[in-house]
């Protein structure tokens, strides 16, 4: 159940991109907006020194978490770009709020997603369409970048891990170390050690004794 708009409970969000800037101007406008309507403030969420292009920000993340738990019935920001600069992220956040029944208001721009506002659904649809277009542009630019890198001879993907695979076999068969201990010793992931051991398939007698039941393997050339 949501609070009636006559006595609405709101979360206020303000953001500045650098730590030497101040959110007080934004917060003053938001508090004044709430006071004039006789609403109440649940909490003020402030991100200082965070770019709006970042999808994850401490206060923003807490705001969205509280919205999902219906801690308030509306979110107020001074301008849309304070909430997010990426159309894609903005659209996703507003869609999440809409799904949770949370009203979104940008007080200086007349943006209000209240169900009684005839333009609210149009706004959400427009943002969704622009966000889809932005996503396609991102994919296209990424693909072009990959093609250009390959054309210039750049090797993509994770760098290959350089380590002695025969040392994995020695530590396992002769020293009897666990996979975790081997991985820590060689500074590699546990599954990399396991795979290296499995792929060393040459089996020959070894001078040193080994635990019963384990195959004897030949060290590969260094």
User: Which active-site residues does the annotation give?
Assistant: 17
DSSP of the chain: ----GGG-EEEEEEEESSTTS-SHHHHHHHHHHHHHTT-EEEEEEEEES--TT-S--HHHHHHHHHHHTTS-SEEEESSHHHH-S-HHHHHHHHHHHHHTT-EEEETTTTEE--TT-TTHHHHHHHHHHHHHHHHHHHHHHHHHHHHHHHHTTPPPSSPPP---HHHHHHHHHTS---HHHHHHHHTS-HHHHHHHHHH---B---SS---TT---BPPPP-
């Amino acid at each position: 159940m949501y609070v009636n708009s006559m006595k609405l409970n709101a979360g206020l969000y303000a953001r500045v991109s650098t730590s030497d800037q101040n959110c007080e101007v934004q917060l003053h406008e938001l508090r004044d907006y709430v006071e004039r309507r006789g609403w109440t403030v649940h909490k003020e969420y402030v991100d200082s020194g965070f770019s709006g292009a970042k999808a994850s920000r401490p206060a923003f993340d807490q705001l969205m978490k509280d919205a999902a738990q219906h801690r308030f019935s509306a979110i107020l920001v001074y301008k849309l770009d304070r909430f997010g600069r990426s159309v894609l992220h903005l659209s996703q956040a507003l869609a999440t709020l809409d799904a949770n029944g949370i009203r979104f208001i940008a007080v200086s721009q007349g943006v209000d997603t209240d169900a009684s506002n005839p333009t609210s659904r149009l706004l959400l649809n427009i943002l969704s369409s622009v966000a889809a277009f932005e996503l396609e542009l991102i994919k296209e630019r990424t693909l072009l970048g990959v093609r250009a890198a390959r054309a210039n001879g750049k090797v993509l993907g994770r760098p290959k891990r350089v380590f002695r695979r025969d040392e994995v076999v020695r530590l396992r068969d002769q020293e009897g170390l666990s996979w975790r201990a081997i991985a820590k010793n060689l500074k590699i992931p546990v599954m990399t050690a396991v795979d290296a051991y499995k792929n060393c398939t040459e089996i020959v007698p070894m001078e040193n004794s080994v635990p019963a039941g384990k195959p004897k393997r030949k060290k590969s050339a260094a």
